[in-house]
């Protein structure tokens, strides 16, 4: 696994606790965290995949935003997922961008809270 830049210690500890393979890369002038083998809820076309998170240079003061998935997620019932159509080239692949925004509070939010929100976005995508 590549580790081209370091994350704050509490984030790295949280990632280790998740037990998922992860790597940090620099691509296209940006810094990215790639989480691999993440499990997705039943109701999506795939049950495991990767999630990419863009890490701003001034993180954790500047917040995390959105999430990118590979392979692309779709509902098995064929209903569309809102704001999940845009594609992001990254690391030689095309990732599906889920455009989700919230108010980032430094000292309150971190990588672990962002991952919890990703799971909630999945629940909401299947509930609508």
pTM of the entire predicted model: 0.95
76 with 43: CB under 8 angstroms? yes
What is the C-alpha to C-alpha distance for residues 79 and 120, in angstroms, rounded to an integer? 18
pLDDT of residue 56: 96
Residue ranges per structural domain of the chain = 9-127
Contact present, 26 and 46 (Cβ < 8 Å): no
Residue pLDDT, tens place only, 69-78:
999 999 999 9
* Other C-beta atoms lying within 10 Å of the C-beta of residue 41: 12
Q: For residue 85, what pLDDT is reported?
A: 80
Per-residue confidence (pLDDT) for residue 86, from 0 to 100: 86
Kindly provide the b/e burial profile for residues 29-40, where b requires at least 16 CB atoms within 10 angstroms of the residue's own CB.
eebbbbbeebeb
Q: How confident is the model at residue 18 (pLDDT cuts 50, 70, 90)?
A: very high
């Amino acid at each position: 696994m590549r580790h081209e830049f370091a994350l704050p210690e509490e984030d790295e500890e949280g990632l280790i606790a998740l037990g998922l393979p992860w790597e940090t890369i620099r691509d296209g002038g940006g810094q990215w965290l790639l989480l691999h083998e993440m499990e997705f809820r039943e109701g999506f076309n795939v049950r495991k995949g990767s999630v990419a998170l863009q890490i701003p240079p001034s993180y954790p003061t500047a917040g995390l935003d959105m999430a990118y998935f590979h392979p692309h997620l779709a509902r098995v019932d064929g209903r569309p997922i809102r704001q999940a159509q845009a594609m992001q080239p990254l690391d030689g692949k095309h990732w599906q961008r889920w455009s989700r925004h919230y108010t980032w509070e430094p000292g309150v939010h971190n990588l672990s809270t962002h991952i919890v929100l990703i799971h909630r976005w999945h629940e909401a995508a299947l509930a609508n």
